[in-house]
Structure 1
Amino acid sequence: MDWQNKFAPLSLSTTDALPELALAHLTSWGAITMVGDDKKSYLSGQVTCDVVSLAEDSSTLGAHCDAKGKVWSVFRLFHHNDGYAMFQPKSAIAVELAEIKKYAVFSKVDISESDDVALGLIGSSATQVVEQLSESQGDVRAINGGTAVKIDDSRWLLLLTPQAAATLVTETRAQLIDESLWTRCDIENGLPVLPAEQQNEHIPQALNVQALGGISFTKGCYTGQETVARAKYRGMNKRAMFIVSGNAEQQPATGAELERAVGENWRGAGQLLTSYRFSDGKCIGLVVLPNNLEADTQLRLKDAPESLWKIEPLPYSLDDE
């Protein structure tokens, strides 16, 4: 496993260019896999996204909720090997695995935590590398030892067996970096990251899952559907996920509390889902806040009140169609 020690932190300021090609070891990410004759129907009855119509060359975001519509997991779903993979933060998997398996005894389906390795290709040359690894086209491609999944124009997720990952790391020309740049890209793209600390706290719309195509309002029944539908059609959702930025002397911890200015006072606003700190001290993060806040609302870290933050524009709209 010496290849795992080759990844180094990449320190970037707010003005530094991204590397042309980097390979990140996504150590805090993992996947739940699902195989078996009933995998499609079983999963469709559990999650918010449209599993039945998911093409083999496409991926989708989705959420898995409890009966009250509170989210156990936000994941990226795609075809992987002979079944599905639900890619998500590793810290959420233990609880999510138990919840997603709860009714599996009644179906022909095998659900387990994958031992595959998650690697992230980042940079303008990322797609070129994937094209060398696979002869197929599309946003999800089978490659030797696993699957390549397009995240955006400059990022691909590689979910590989440990042996295939080791071979790729040994042979690649990419700069080998830790996962922090991947986190930065997730934040800048407004992609929800739900850590264990905030499982069962939010409905999917509070994490912007609907704005990213991760909720089907026309599919059949699934766990928590009543709450999710009510939030859309009756306007009951009062929260949304926002990109925030500020300055901090050190990397804020996951779950760090933000406060919002209310006149001359400060009130609790939300907890950071994830964050990234540039080398020149600027930080960005994701946080669930009341969705009626003014865009110029001033924020601060509760544990570092001198650290003022603000809300940044999302790269997509939260308005219902």
Structure 2
Amino acid sequence: MILEKKYFTPQISTLSHNLPLTLIFLKEWSLIKFTGTDILQYLQGQLTCNINNLTKNFYNLTAYCNPKGKLISSMYIFYLKTGIGCIQRLSICHKQVTLMKKYAIFSKINIIIDNETIFLGFAGQGARSTLNLLFDKLPNEKKKIIYYKDSTILHFNLPKERFLILTNKKIKDSLTKKFKNKINFSYDNQWNILDIEAGYPIIDSNTSELFLPQETNIQNFNAISFNKGCYIGQEIITRMQFKGIHKRKLYLLFGKISRVPLSGEKLEYKKNTNNHWTIAGTILSACALNQGTVWIQAILNSSLKKNTIFRLHNSKKDNQITIHSSCMQN
């Protein structure tokens, strides 16, 4: 029996400043494990961050790109008790492993998907003080990741302090029983809205290999090294950076619409010059909030102005969807 389904109905997502203490059951993430004597050398040639700077006290946001410099997936990379782990979206996990194994033929490295690890988010008012009652130590700004018995805990400070717990079924069931009727329970959409607030790009299978990493905002989280040397897509990524060519950017949009858009759907805007609707960009993720409001993370043309009005591509006249842009992520 899946305990969390017994105890609650998924809630509408809540922004960080109003979020009560919440345990979040995450089903849309996956863990890839790398072991072997060549893992550092191998990953240095695969990912955008500088693996040589990775330490056991910190995780790093990074990207895996194709030879054309387009982002296949974004992920968090960190040391495990044995080897190195990467957390990325579940929808893209198998594709990523298949591609990585192609480049690992001549390296002493093992790449496996961990299907046993369970992901829990812990966020909201009093998150740290409550977790302190359960874990003897917790990560913080100076030590972003800790390993406690059978759990690994990652610390996030954006948009407000929250924790990502990698654990097993026994501990998950124990936490579920302990917090029954005491705190809020939720699912992936709640974690997603916090990522959207923070500016972390949410790359799923529908948006994989569509954008350069700089277009997704990850360079603002130290996810790209522009001087570490060669990696897949490095030449194009570096050239675009030093030429200052940024045709698209990550935007945060919000408004009241009739349905929650899907990842990969197109947005269009009305040009003042000819009154025609023109493609503006692509939706990465969207979450419903209270009172019919939807927040959308999208990559749009960088020339668009704040408060531009959008709609979903090919919306019917009687179901026109408009969204007002705000809080652009640079």
The TM-score, its normalising length taken from structure 1, stands at 0.91
- The DSSP-based 3-state class of the residue aligned with 2:76 is strand
- The DSSP-based 3-state class of the residue aligned with 2:236 is helix
1:118 correspondence with 2:123: no
Cα deviation code 1:42-87 (max 9, x no counterpart): 1111000121111211111110011110111111112223122211
Alpha-carbon offset, residue 311 of structure 1: 1.9
Task: Provide the C-alpha distance between the structure 2 equivalents of 1:15 and 1:160, rounded to a whole number of angstroms.
Answer: 24
- The DSSP-based 3-state class of the residue aligned with 1:105 is coil
Aligned counterpart in structure 1 of residue 177 of structure 2, from 159, 170, 178: 170
Distance 1:156 1:109, change over 3 A: same
The aligned counterpart of 1:279 is 290
1:127-166 mapped onto 2 (5 Å cutoff): 127-131=128-132, 132-135=134-137, 137=139, 138-152=143-157, 153-166=160-173
Percent identity among equivalent residues?
27
Would you say the 8 A contact 2:36–2:110 is kept in 1? Answer: yes
Would you say the 8 A contact 1:246–1:283 is kept in 2? Answer: yes
Cα deviation code 1:196-253 (max 9, x no counterpart): 0111111101111112211011213111100110111012331111111121122222
1:312 correspondence with 2:326: yes
- The DSSP-based 3-state class of the residue aligned with 2:176 is helix
The TM-score, its normalising length taken from structure 2, stands at 0.89
- The DSSP-based 3-state class of the residue aligned with 1:99 is helix
- The DSSP-based 3-state class of the residue aligned with 2:278 is strand
Alpha-carbon offset, residue 136 of structure 1: 6.0
1:173-184 mapped onto 2 (5 Å cutoff): 174-184=183-193
Distance 1:14 1:181, change over 3 A: closer
Alpha-carbon offset, residue 36 of structure 1: 1.9
- The DSSP-based 3-state class of the residue aligned with 1:98 is helix
1:16-165 mapped onto 2 (5 Å cutoff): 17-19=18-20, 21-115=21-115, 116-131=117-132, 132-135=134-137, 137=139, 138-152=143-157, 153-165=160-172
Task: Provide the C-alpha distance between the structure 2 equivalents of 1:93 and 1:170, rounded to a whole number of angstroms.
Answer: 30
Task: Provide the C-alpha distance between the structure 1 equivalents of 2:205 and 2:16, rounded to a whole number of angstroms.
Answer: 33
Alignment RMSD, CA only?
A: 2.1
Further displaced range: 87-96 or 175-184: 175-184
Task: Provide the C-alpha distance between the structure 2 equivalents of 1:300 and 1:2, rounded to a whole number of angstroms.
Answer: 39
Q: Which runs of 4+ in 1 moved over 4 A?
A: 12-16
- The DSSP-based 3-state class of the residue aligned with 1:104 is coil
- The DSSP-based 3-state class of the residue aligned with 1:9 is coil
Task: Provide the C-alpha distance between the structure 2 equivalents of 1:200 and 1:209, rounded to a whole number of angstroms.
Answer: 15
Task: Provide the C-alpha distance between the structure 1 equivalents of 2:29 and 2:9, rounded to a whole number of angstroms.
Answer: 17
Uncovered stretches (5+) of structure 1, i.e. residues with no partner: none
Uncovered stretches (5+) of structure 2, i.e. residues with no partner: none
The aligned counterpart of 1:216 is 225
Alpha-carbon offset, residue 255 of structure 1: 2.2
1:291 correspondence with 2:302: yes
Aligned counterpart in structure 1 of residue 208 of structure 2, from 199, 205, 227: 199
Task: Provide the C-alpha distance between the structure 1 equivalents of 2:105 and 2:81, rounded to a whole number of angstroms.
Answer: 22
Task: Provide the C-alpha distance between the structure 2 equivalents of 1:95 and 1:4, rounded to a whole number of angstroms.
Answer: 29
Paired residues, what number? 315
Would you say the 8 A contact 1:246–1:307 is kept in 2? Answer: no
Further displaced range: 191-200 or 178-187: 178-187
Task: Provide the C-alpha distance between the structure 1 equivalents of 2:15 and 2:26, rounded to a whole number of angstroms.
Answer: 22
- The DSSP-based 3-state class of the residue aligned with 1:106 is coil
1:267 correspondence with 2:278: yes
- The DSSP-based 3-state class of the residue aligned with 2:229 is coil
Cα deviation code 1:134-192 (max 9, x no counterpart): 43651101023231001224211111123332233333454221222111111111110
Further displaced range: 192-201 or 160-169: 160-169
